[in-house]
Amino acid sequence: MEKKLTIRDIAKLSGVSASTVSRVLDDSDRISAETKKSVLEVVNQYGYKPQAAARNLARQKTSAIGIIIPQNDMNIYSSSFFQEALHGVSNSLSQNGYDVLISSGNPTELDAIKRLISTSRIDGIILLRSVVNDASIQYLTESKFPFVLIGTCLENPDVYSVDNDNQRAAYDIAYHMYMTGKRKMAIIGGTKSSVFIQKRLEGYEKLLVEKGLPINQDYIKLENASEDYGYQSMLELLKSPSRPDSVLVMDDSICVGVMKAINESGVKIPEEIAVACFNESSFTKYSRPALTTISLNFYDLGYCAAKTLLSVLNNEPIQKGCRYVDHLLTIRESTVSN
C-alpha cells in the first residue's frame, strides 16, 4: 500500500488551495469551470478519495447508518429476508455515499444501539421488527434519534416505517381462491396477537364480505404458529361436516403440518382443497404439489426503508407514518389444476 495522498497533496499538484479542492469535490458553484476541470483531472489521475474519518469529523456526521442482525427467531420471515433486505438497504445508501454498519444485538439489541449511537458512529438506524413495542423503539423515540422500522407499521405517526401490506396480501390470495371457484376458505396459523396476523385476517374477511360470503368462525384457526398446530387444525377441518374447499396458511413452516394432514387423509389438492401459504421457501417450491405462495419483496423493503431514512436525515419533507411495498403472488399447482 503506497502512501495515501491528502487533499493538500492534490491542492499542490493542481496549483490551488486545499479549500478549492474540497469545493471542487463538493461541486460547489463558487468554483470556475476551468478550475474544476483541471482539479478533477488531477484527482482522477491519482485516484484521490477523501478520507472518511477526516470528512466525518469535519462535517460532524458519519455518513453511516446501523442495522442490528436479527436473531433467527424472526420465524415469520423466510431466511433470505435479512440478506435481501440488506441488499436493498445497501444499494440505496451507497448511491448516496452512506455506509451500512451492522452489529449483532450483543448482549442485547438495545445495548448494541446505544453503543453505536454513543460513539457517534451512525447518523440513523434501521430496525427489523415483528413486534410493536419494545425497548429499542422506545429508546430511539425518546432520544429522537432518526430511525426507520421495517416489518411493522406503528400506530404512532411520528415513527417512520416500511412494511408489506399484509391486509392486501391476504385479500389478494383470497381473491385468487375465489376466482378459481372456491367459496369455503379457511385460514390457519399464527396468533391474533400479532399485528400482521390481524391485518391478514382483515384482508381475508374483507374479501368474504365483498363477495357476500359468510364469515365462518370455524374456518378461522389462529391460535398458534407451530407445524403441529397446522397439522391438528387441518385434521379438524377435514373431519368437519362442512369441510372447507380452500385454506390460507400464514407461514410455510405451518404449512408443512397442513400438507401432512391433507396427504394422510388422501384428499386431492387442489380439486378438493386448494392450499396457499405465506412465505416462499425450499419447502413451498419443492413440495408436491408445489405451493402457491405470497412472497414479500424483501429487497424493496430494505430499499424503501433506506430511502425513507435518507429523506429524514436530509430533512426533506416526507410523508410520516407507514408506507407499503408490493408483494408477489406466485401461483403454483396447489391452487390451480393443470
Partner DNA sequence: CTTAATTGTGCAACCGGTTGCATAAAGTTA
Partner DNA sequence: TAACTTTATGCAACCGGTTGCACAATTAAG
Q: Which positions touch DNA (CB under 7 A)?
A: 4-8, 15-20, 22-23, 25-26, 29-35, 50-51, 54-55, 57-60
> Could you tell which of a second copy, DNA, none binds residue 281, using a CB distance below 5 to 8 A set by kind?
a second copy
What is the nearest approach in angstroms of DNA to the Cβ of residue 13? 12
Smaller CB distance to DNA: residue 57 or 209? Answer: 57
Q: Does 311 bind a second copy (CB under 8 A)?
A: no
Rounded Cα gap, residues 62 and 260, in angstroms: 52
Q: Can you say whether residue 144 is alpha, beta or left, with left for phi > 0 and alpha for psi between -120 and 50 degrees?
A: left
Rounded Cα gap, residues 40 and 10, in angstroms: 10
Smaller CB distance to DNA: residue 38 or 297? Answer: 38
Smaller CB distance to a second copy: residue 219 or 278? Answer: 278
> Could you tell which of DNA, a second copy, none binds residue 112, using a CB distance below 5 to 8 A set by kind?
a second copy
What is the nearest approach in angstroms of a second copy to the Cβ of residue 217? 29
Q: Does 150 bind a second copy (CB under 8 A)?
A: no
Q: Does 6 bind a second copy (CB under 8 A)?
A: no
Peptide bond preceding 50 in cis form (omega within 30 of 0):
no
Q: Give CA angle at 126 (123, 128), nearest 5°.
A: 160
Name the segment binding a second copy (CB under 8 A); options: 76-84, 205-213, 228-236, 320-328: 76-84
**Residues 231 to 270 in contact with a second copy, rule: CB under 8 A:** 252-253, 256, 260
One residue of 32, 44, 119, 217 binding a second copy per CB under 8 A: 119
- Show the binding pattern over residues 18-57: x = contacts a second copy (CB under 8 A), - = does not: -----------------------------x-xxxxxx-xx
Q: Does 282 bind a second copy (CB under 8 A)?
A: yes
One residue of 64, 159, 162, 225 binding a second copy per CB under 8 A: 64
Smaller CB distance to DNA: residue 5 or 336? Answer: 5
Residue 224 grid cell:
398458534
What is the nearest approach in angstroms of DNA to the Cβ of residue 73? 36
> Could you tell which of a second copy, DNA, none binds residue 213, using a CB distance below 5 to 8 A set by kind?
none
Q: Contact 10/46 with Cβ under 8 angstroms?
A: yes
What is the nearest approach in angstroms of a second copy to the Cβ of residue 56? 4
Rounded Cα gap, residues 100 and 279, in angstroms: 26
Q: Does 143 bind a second copy (CB under 8 A)?
A: yes
Smaller CB distance to DNA: residue 17 or 282? Answer: 17
Smaller CB distance to DNA: residue 60 or 314? Answer: 60
Positions touching a second copy (CB under 8 A) are: 1, 4, 47, 49-54, 56-57, 62, 64, 69-70, 72, 78-80, 82-84, 86-87, 90-91, 94, 99-104, 106, 112, 115, 118-121, 143-145, 227, 252-253, 256, 260, 281-283, 286, 288
